[in-house]
Structure 1
Amino acid sequence: MRLARLGEPGQERPAVIDDQGLTRDLTSLTHDIDGAFLAADGIARTRRALAEGTLPALESDELRFGPPVARPGIVLCIGQNYAAHAAESGAEPPTRPVIFFKPPNTVVGAYDEVRIPRGSAKTDWEVELAVVIGKRAQYLDSPEQALEHVAGYTIANDVSERDFQLVHSGGQWSKGKSCATFNPLGPYLVPADEVPDVQNLRLRSSVNGEPRQDSSTADMIFSVAQIVHDLSQYLVLDPGDVISTGTPEGVALSGRFPYLSAGDVMEIEIEGLGRQRQVLGKA
């Protein structure tokens, strides 16, 4: 089962793709796939409706995939969470999770255009496993308890402008992470209990068909459970919030590949979660 939001920006309708690959309309259950839906046991209710056969088919071939969760309250990102990526960035692996925020208005659909910002010379790609919170998390007792608060997983492209991030930053990264369209998300939200081993998923990216990143979530320094537990000690995670868990080596910042230009095509994928594709345009 995969949850999706289909339609033009601001007009997306909730949908579910069943185990046979058929798209079903979810509007009889909810007006949207958002924090309120997830908090109200929306995933379990969707399963029941599928089992009962009460959800009508939805013709989806021509519909855009919007972000699979609407209006996240916060988008949190974990920096340098793969040792090899930290090394290619010129940093030592962190001993505690490093976090930064992306504004929720950076979130776009998995196939939407990504716009290179004005003045950019170093726009970069980052394939990341994204966690969607399903139940409020605050002062959790253990990493094991943390996974009970995860609704599901999706794919994020943590697009970055490296000069904005590192030269113009003033000591923090958000300037390089917050440009419009810099967070393609989706295409699907896959329920957590349908991802049998979240710490053993292959992640890949390519630019113009040429391989860039190829790694596994097994190489994460801090696991999903550790990240959610750690964050809950410092802030409140609400249903619908999104956490991007870091990117592996193979980005342009390494010096091994050119930065992105208008007309380039990024493709990123994570095993079991789907695939994204974005064409680069100009702001």
Structure 2
Amino acid sequence: MTMLFDPPATPAVPVIRGDSLFPVRRIFCVGRNYEAHAREMGFAPEREAPIWFTKSPAALCAAGGMIPYPPGTRNCHYEMEFVVAIAGSGFRVDAADAMALVFGYACGLDLTRRDLQNAAKAKGFPWDTGKDFENAAVIGPITRAADFGIPAAQRIWLKQNGTIRQDAVLSDMIWSVAELVADLSGMYHLAPGDLIYTGTPAGVGPIAPKDLLESGIDGLAPISLRVGEPE
């Protein structure tokens, strides 16, 4: 049998130290994983089960360039995130063993069409269109776990046009990396190439054309993103 058209290339993220690329298989994201962010979104910061949603690999966007202002929205928000890259395989993994699946970490931005998300939530509908769209999963180069160390009190921050908007530490997360990996592995067979966006601190807000977003996490390569005019 012949393919009707050429299949799309597999998205991949550069790995720091060497010339390797990390091929991306799936993108999982966690909602409301920082107490202060849960409060600013109008929810009690309870330690309930992690809230998961997904983005397609087609949403992946390399940091450092410019993207057009996303279509279909008038209220697109930045959300700075600590990204976990998985290179092991596991199903129903205990938290004590979960870190063995982790290859490394990166800085990421979860862009959100907030108006579409809120409208869907109000009607009890899925909010895929608010989260999963082109350039919605921004990511920087991956640092190997051994080079980064244990996620703990590393600072996570974001500047918008030079002004600090988000500023927290990774230990503010309600669910740790090991707990997130373990929980996710109870619902999916995790495999090499999976990415986990682990949630965002308080301070999320709207982007606009001509914005410059700069963000970073201690120990990781910082990232930037410019926002252009709508297409």
After superposition, residues 1-283 of structure 1 pair within 5 angstroms as 17-18=16-17, 26=19, 33=21, 69-70=22-23, 72-94=24-46, 95-140=48-93, 142-168=94-120, 170-186=124-140, 188-252=141-205, 259-281=206-228, 282-283=230-231
Shift of 1:183: 1.1
**1:250–1:16 distance in 2 versus 1, CA, 3 Å:** closer
Q: Which amino acid aligns with 2:211?
A: D
Q: Which amino acid aligns with 2:111?
A: V
Q: Which amino acid aligns with 2:41?
A: S
Contact 1:127/1:205 (8 A) holds in 2: yes
> Which structure 2 residue ranges, 5 or more long, are not aligned?
1-8
**1:263–1:14 distance in 2 versus 1, CA, 3 Å:** closer
Q: Distance in 2 between matches of 1:103 and 1:240?
A: 13
**1:211–1:103 distance in 2 versus 1, CA, 3 Å:** same
CA-atom RMSD in angstroms: 2.1
Q: What SS does structure 1 have at the residue aligned with 2:150?
A: coil
Shift of 1:11: 11
Higher strand share: 2
Identity %: 32
**1:135–1:84 distance in 2 versus 1, CA, 3 Å:** same
Shift of 1:249: 0.2
Post-superposition CA distance 1:107-165 (Å, at most 9, x none): 0111122332223111111110000101112111x211000010111111001110111
Shift of 1:12: 9.7
> Which structure 1 residue ranges, 5 or more long, are not aligned?
1-9, 19-23, 27-31, 34-68, 253-258
What TM-score comes out, normalization by structure 1 length?
A: 0.72
Q: May I ask how many residue pairs the two structures share in their alignment?
A: 219
The higher relative CO (CA closer than 8 Å, separation ≥ 6) is in 2
Q: Distance in 1 between matches of 2:91 and 2:43?
A: 30
Q: Distance in 1 between matches of 2:148 and 2:220?
A: 9
Q: What SS does structure 1 have at the residue aligned with 2:36?
A: helix
Q: Which amino acid aligns with 2:174?
A: I
Q: Which runs of 4+ in 1 moved over 4 A?
A: 10-18
Q: Distance in 1 between matches of 2:64 and 2:210?
A: 14
